Chains A and B, each alone.
Chain A
Amino acid sequence: MTAFLKSKGIFGGMTLAVAAILVLLPLLLPSATLASEILIFAMAALACNLLLGYGGLLSFGQGLFFGAGSYLASLAMIHGGFGLIPALLAAAVAGAVLATCVGWLSIRRAGIYFVMLTLAFSQMGYFLAYTLSKWTGGDNGLLDVPRPDLSLFGIRIADLSSAGAYYTLVAVLFFAVFVGARRVIDSPFGSTLVAIRENETRAAAIGFDTRHFKMLAFTLSGAVTALAGALYAMLINYVPLDNIAMSMSENIVIMTIIGGTGSLLGSLLGAGALVTLGDILSAMWPRWQMLLGLALILIVMFLRGGLWGGVEHALDRFLKIREKGNAP
């Protein structure tokens, strides 16, 4: 089973498992909206994982990219008359450009200074959004974000106003991002990124300009995160200021770590666990985020591979026991 999940082909193994999850998710959860929310955050966590799990780069700028995607897509639809696909594309491109700039400046420093720089950019973005309240709605958020029909070259393909129809769009995009991410990780670029995480001095000594690789990791991560932000705005028809706040960066990083860095399925698991828990618990207890802190502490202390690491370990064990049982 785990061997199956580890199989290399980008359409085999893990990808099939994800396809199954995407089909089952709205059936198992109380609402398709919740399922969409999970996939949107899973996308953001996946993008964070590329930086953190594969590149070893802890970025607190993820909320900035997410928020920027939300605002840009919404404003483009409200004021620019953009359709769904152009708005999503614009958000992804803007996220890529923004993340490249943030990355380019931040990777000039290493370790803790790098983290502080990403944090500083994120804070700047927040105050900028707060200040430009004429455009962003400031504290009140940007209201009445539309969810246009899905259309291509002026031909209307689908009405997305129902939660189920929108989920289908989100699921298809998530699937594309997931397959793409698998390819990226298995590419010369992805393998070099891991090498840089493992030993930057050696990576430079064998010929890699490590800055270029880190920057491209930011570019790709920014594009996907902003896409997630745009999808989120259309999901809730609204852009709260929180989308670009520190807490968004935090949540994305926490989902990534809880799910397990270095595994793409982990990001889906982490986002699923947090969004679902939040949905259930926030109705019962407004201070539920205290539990989040506790969960993070437990996972960091006892489950270094995150939730996915735990699942993998349990599966391996289970299979070993069964093999023993089957042996003559």
Chain B
Amino acid sequence: MTDGYILETQALALAYGGFRAVDGVDLKVREGTIHSVIGPNGAGKTSLFHCLTGGRRPTEGSILFAGEDITRRPAHRRIGIGMARSFQVTSLFQNLSVRENLRLAAQGRDGDRALTFWRSVAEGKAHLALADEVMERLNLTARAGVAAGDLSHGQQRVLEVGMALCGRPKMLLLDEPTSGMGIDDIPVMTGLISELGRDHTVMLIEHNMGIVMSISHTITVMSRGQILVEGKPDEVCADARVRAAYLGEAA
């Protein structure tokens, strides 16, 4: 590992056709920190996440995770090295129970060992135990048997984070975990994320400035596919370019 950085990108770019949604990003994420990515709508934050988590292959540049080049590694092979993500648009197994959602996420860590077809899932005690543990932590135990699609929106967002957690990752990449959440639910999510920050590296995309400013160690501001500013919360807050980018988009 280089200088305590768990994730590094070099000149990372992702183009949709001719449009460069991510345009030459050099990013370094220090291990054990909460590193937020902010920026106006369409800045390329989610596209950057897609590259980091293998959802899309970057058109240029490279990604190092724990010193290893993972640029061309498909999404399903990033769980095993300790990366897990949540989605901006809730992406659960809607018709399966909360417990089954989490159990599957725990089983995902096994990769192809889950091809076992001659044994009952009940024998996978470790997966069930992890699912139950995460469920307890998310305060969803009372809803264990409920289909994920029947949870309230706030609970679905919490479960979304729990799915990533069940991969037992070193690094969590959370894409707007509070998106669409009511004002009452947000403190719960904020608490959860800062708690996760204690034993994981967390990379967080977030629009809610209150959360970002209160829990981040480092903030990267993106605009038009590029990094505009990076620094500690108070530095970023005071930066004139950041204000301009936000106001510019709003105007």
Give A residues with C-beta under 8 Å from B. 8, 10, 183-184, 186-192, 194-195, 198-199, 201-210, 212-213, 216, 220
Contacts and interface: CB of A to CB of B under 8 A. Distances in A.
A187 B119 contact: yes
Q: State the majority secondary structure of interface residues on A.
A: helix
A207 B167 contact: yes
A186 B121 CA distance: 6
A207 B91 contact: no
Interface string B103-130: 1110111111111111111101000000
B120 A205 contact: no
Contact of B76 (A194, A198, A208): A208
B70 to A, nearest CB: 14
A191 B53 contact: no
6 contacts: A183-B119, A187-B121, A188-B117, A189-B115, A206-B105, A209-B112
Contacts of B75: 204-205
Contacts of A206: 79, 84, 104-105, 108-109, 163, 166-167
Contacts of A194: 93, 96
Interface of B: 53, 55, 74-77, 79-80, 84-85, 87, 91-96, 100, 103-105, 107-122, 124, 163, 166-167
Nearest to A183: B118
A192 B111 contact: no
Given A198-B96, A209-B76, A188 B114 contact: yes
B49 to A, nearest CB: 11
Contacts of A8: 122
Contacts of A190: 117, 121
Contact of B92 (A10, A202, A213): A202
Given A183-B118, A188-B117, A207-B167, 19 more contacts: A183-B120, A188-B113, A188-B115, A188-B121, A190-B117, A195-B93, A198-B93, A201-B91, A202-B163, A204-B74, A205-B53, A206-B84, A206-B105, A206-B109, A207-B76, A208-B111, A209-B74, A209-B112, A210-B76
Contact of B107 (A188, A205, A216): A188
A208 B106 CA distance: 11
A23 B173 CA distance: 56
Contacts of B166: 206
Sort A-B residue pairs by CB-CB distance and give the 8 closest, nearest first.
A207-B108, A207-B79, A206-B108, A189-B117, A198-B93, A188-B114, A206-B105, A187-B117
Given A199-B91, A202-B91, A207 B109 contact: yes
B111 to A, nearest CB: 6
B118 A191 contact: no
Nearest to A206: B108
Contacts of B100: 191
Contacts of A199: 91-94
Given A187-B119, A206-B167, A192 B112 contact: no
Q: Which of B53, B100, B120 has the most CB of A within 10 A?
A: B120
Contact of A207 (B80, B94, B122): B80
A209 B53 CA distance: 14
Q: Which of B108, B117, B122 has the most CB of A within 10 A?
A: B117
Nearest to B166: A206
B76 A187 contact: no
A210 B105 CA distance: 14
B117 A184 contact: yes
Contacts of A198: 93-96
Contacts of A213: 114-115
A204 B76 contact: yes
Q: Which of A8, A189, A204, A206 has the most CB of B within 10 A?
A: A206
A189 B87 CA distance: 24
Contacts of A210: 76
Contact of B121 (A191, A201, A202, A216): A191
B104 A191 contact: yes
A195 B97 CA distance: 11
A195 B104 contact: yes
